[in-house]
Amino acid sequence: MADPVAIARDLLRCPSVTPLEGGALAFLETTLKAAGFTTHRMTFSEAGTPDVENFYARIGTGAPHLMFAGHTDVVPPGNEAAWTHPPFAGEIDGDILYGRGAVDMKGGIAAAVAAVLEYLAANGGQPKGSISFLITGDEESVAINGTPKLLDWAHKHGEKFDHCILGEPSNRNVLGDTIKIGRRGSLNGTLIVHGTQGHVAYPERADNPVTGLVALVAALKAEPLDHGSKLFDPSNLEFTSIDVGNKTVNLIPGEARARFNIRFNDLHDQESLKLLLEKRALIAGAEKIRFSFEWEPSNADVFVVEPGPFTGMVADAVKEVTGHQPTLSTTGGTSDARFIKNYCSVVEFGLVGQTMHAIDERVPVSELRALTQIYRLILDRYFAA
């Protein structure tokens, strides 16, 4: 029997902080190649972004083709002295496995690898179809040189996928409570108020942009963007920083900025949101506040995958192993499912995400084994069907 805990510990010991490979992809290549997979490692580049190494492996040549997708890159551990166990040691304390990436998402990858190895061992080393792993190294960053380019590479090489399980930590409180079938979009912007610089003792000679910025920020937050839709919670706008860059206390600045992020549902797209905010700012400014918006490029559009037989198969396997009937959800941040859905039907199901990106990120060993059982059951039923 393949041991998901041992696989997870080996992955956790690889310091693969974005965009570093850290040995994680090399470990997966060695492990899957030994099981008969054909493997590929490739590095993608783009001006202004770090080079990123990625990994693709496949066994089998026929249909149906089930893909397990994920990422081995992790966010930085922060203050390592604050960890009770070193972030890249893969230490176990009781039933708990500690390490950066334990739930997001090396633990999910380890469970998928273990489940596939067990399935192959029970079926003569070959699937009744095809199984692949599509693993990137920049999901935690700008997601430019990872999954979108890896999927394009696979498509150009004739790879066709029928279904995908993305092992992101989808569950909110307990293993089995949530399957993600969609994600909100994400859009970053900066509100800039333009003033006139001057001496604070002579305010009549200046135009303080801070006053205008405060007014516009309040106006943009005063009313909700919407009240939600059938499958999505209400869209949300959050201001995350206010910057003036003024170190002189008796100087009225010439400009003030406020950065924000919008997580939006299927009632909007990026262009309609831009128009909505600009309209609200115009009304609030009443032609007295001079302002502009700077919008950052985004590849994080809203999407939802309509539930079908594959979703039902995953949900049934989750319930059989955990006893929980999972909720089909579209909450949370963005994920690489936004790219995968253009190539095949995709659901997200992994571990519980409560400690992801936190000090002492961790996963119960029992949950890691349970997730492996769920993936194994899905494999059995998928290829039997």
Catalytic residue among 29, 73, 138, 367: 73
User: Quick one: which of 161, 153, 145 has its CA closest to 341?
Assistant: 161
CA distance 191 to 235: 18
CA distance 377 to 282: 56
Sheet with 96-98: strands ordered across: 92-93, 96-98, 362-364
Only one residue has tokens 């910025």, namely 213
Catalytic residue among 29, 91, 118, 139: 139
91 flagged as catalytic: no
The pair of structure tokens assigned to 4 is: 């998901």
CA distance 349 to 369: 14
**Upper half-sphere CA count for residue 221 (Cβ side, 13 Å):** 13
CB 368 within 8 A of CB 4: yes
- 3-state DSSP call for residue 340? helix
139 flagged as catalytic: yes
CA quadruple 167, 177, 87, 336: dihedral, nearest 10: 30
User: Quick one: which of 158, 161, 131, 151 has its CA closest to 58?
Assistant: 131
* Beta strand pairing call for 65-71 and 163-166: parallel
CA distance 70 to 112: 10
CA quadruple 52, 55, 61, 63: dihedral, nearest 10: -80
Please give the positions annotated as active site.
73, 139
